[in-house]
Amino acid sequence: MDQSKINVRYAKAFFILAKEKGLTLELRKDAGLIASVCDTSSDFILMLDSPVVKTSQKVEALKRIFTGKVNELSLNFLLLITENKRENYIPGIFRNLEDLYRHEEGIKTAVLTSAMPLNENLVLQVQKILETEFNAKVELSQKVDQKLIGGFVIRVDDKQYDASLSTQLKKIREQLLHTELK
């Protein structure tokens, strides 16, 4: 079975259970912590992927790492995944949980990319405009890409608005190349 399908199935099942128990906010915090550990600790991923480390050792390691830091439901879910020998799917499952939470709450994610860092007030203004435009809460992150030369690119879900100087220059170049000389 495709790994992404497994990630989505486990994530949906766990999200539905958390929703029934009214623990979606706690689940989001736990998913963020677990995904962060997966993203920042290569040793953790090596331990999960290792065929040499026994399942019982992996379960004990997960208990030591996450007991008291995540909700008991989240910990039991991690242990269940590991006992079923699906521990290598943990990073993908917990990334999918974050997406499910955002979808459930109607939260849109947006990335504002500019040639240089923008001041906080301008970023907040852009966020308010996007929230009004999409009639939803928007979580806006900022990236810097000096290749843009100037201007900005905003990406919300699968939509993109490109007002960068580099794109405008490319368009002008294309027009000039396709212009016939008389």
Fold equal for 3-103 and 107-178: no
Identify the pLDDT of residue 72: 94
Burial (0-12, 13-18, 19+ Cβ within 10 Å), 118 = middle
d(CA 19, CA 98): 13
CATH architecture, domain defined by 3-103: Orthogonal Bundle (1.10)
Q: Model-level pTM greater than 0.85?
A: no
pLDDT in tens, 117-158: 999 999 999 999 999 999 999 999 999 998 888 889 999 988
Identify the pLDDT of residue 43: 93
The whole-chain average pLDDT of the chain stands at 91
107-178: CATH, from 3.40.30, 3.30.1760, 3.40.50, 3.30.70: 3.40.30
Burial (0-12, 13-18, 19+ Cβ within 10 Å), 145 = middle
Q: Which residues of the chain are modeled with pLDDT < 50?
A: none
d(CA 106, CA 149): 33
Domain ranges of the chain: 3-103, 107-178
Number of other CB atoms surrounding residue 77 within 10 Å: 24
Identify the pLDDT of residue 19: 93
Identify the pLDDT of residue 150: 87
